[in-house]
Amino acid sequence: MLTLSLIGIGCGDPRQLTLAAIAAINAADLVLIPRKGTAKSDLADLRRTICAEALNNDRTRIAEFDLPVRDAGEEDYRKGVDDWHDAVAAAWSQEIARHLGGEGRVALLIWGDPSLYDSSLRIAQRLDPLPSIEVIPGITSIQALCAAHALPLNEIGEPFLVTTGRRLREAGWPSGVDTIVVMLDGGAAFQTLDPEGLKIWWGAYLGMPDQIIMAGELAEAGPRIVAARRDARERHGWIMDSYVLKRRS
């Protein structure tokens, strides 16, 4: 039987690995490391570092492969994502068959946690034959962001909502909540909001050596974040950020 382990590895700091994650990495016969092009080589480098630090056996093999790229020009967003997931699943299947065959344990190191704005579980369900799927939870970017700012996420007895930059840009502030977490924001969607009465806690490259955090009233901090975000993207070739917004009730 083939077992696929989706292992949450936190946000870049190897010290965020749980004991369960370390055990799962060492239990794998094969660890797959996706490459996302030279602009995002840091992500593959960090996975290599995690393997080098966590592995304590000479049995587990490591194989790297090029991850298919989503067609950002596809007008139908959901169709574009579905097509991309199909391509990624095909790449996983090809690498597993090449290096492991139909039996054993294969592991993928998942940024943050496999359950939160990550597609690995949906992609895994597309594999044929379907493997036994094991999930090892990891520290999320939300936890890393709140820890970096020493910020309690929810107000007492109040809910919060996790959304995406695209949803925030298209639909505006969600109704019924005064605290939102925004992820997968490629274009600083907070700029589309009326900043009056809003405060932001922002972070990029959370848990990594180049971590940047900023906070303040949105009217004042927003332009500083936009500038820092632009500079960081130019310097690294990519950026991974998230933020919390709170509205005075």
Q: Read off the DSSP letter of residue 130.
A: P
Q: Which residues of the chain have pLDDT under 70?
A: 39
The amino acid sitting at 21 is A
Task: Give the CATH superfamily of 2-139.
Answer: Tetrapyrrole methylase, N-terminal domain (3.40.1010.10)
* Omega cis (within 30) before 129: yes
Res 59: pLDDT: 95
Contacts 24+ apart (CB under 8 A), 121-126: 121/6, 122/85, 123/85, 123/88, 123/89, 123/92, 124/4, 124/6, 124/89, 124/92, 126/85, 126/86, 126/89
Structure tokens at 141: 């970017």
Q: How confident is the model at residue 128, as a pLDDT?
A: 85
- Give the fold, CATH level 3, of 142-247: 3.30.950
pLDDT, tens digit, for every residue of 92-102? 999 999 999 88
Q: How far apart, in whole angstroms, are the C-alpha atoms of residue 88 and residue 120?
A: 9
Residues 2-41: pLDDT tens digits? Answer: 999 999 999 888 899 999 999 999 999 999 999 987 767 8
pTM of the model: 0.91
**Residue 39: per-residue pLDDT:** 63
Query: Angle at Cα 175 formed by Cα 172 and Cα 176, nearest 5°?
Result: 150
**DSSP strands (E only) in 115-218:** 132-136, 161-164, 179-183, 198-204, 212-217
Dihedral sign computed on CA atoms, order 57, 41, 114, 3: negative
Report domain extents, the chain.
Answer: 2-139, 142-247
Contact 6, 121 (CB under 8 A): yes
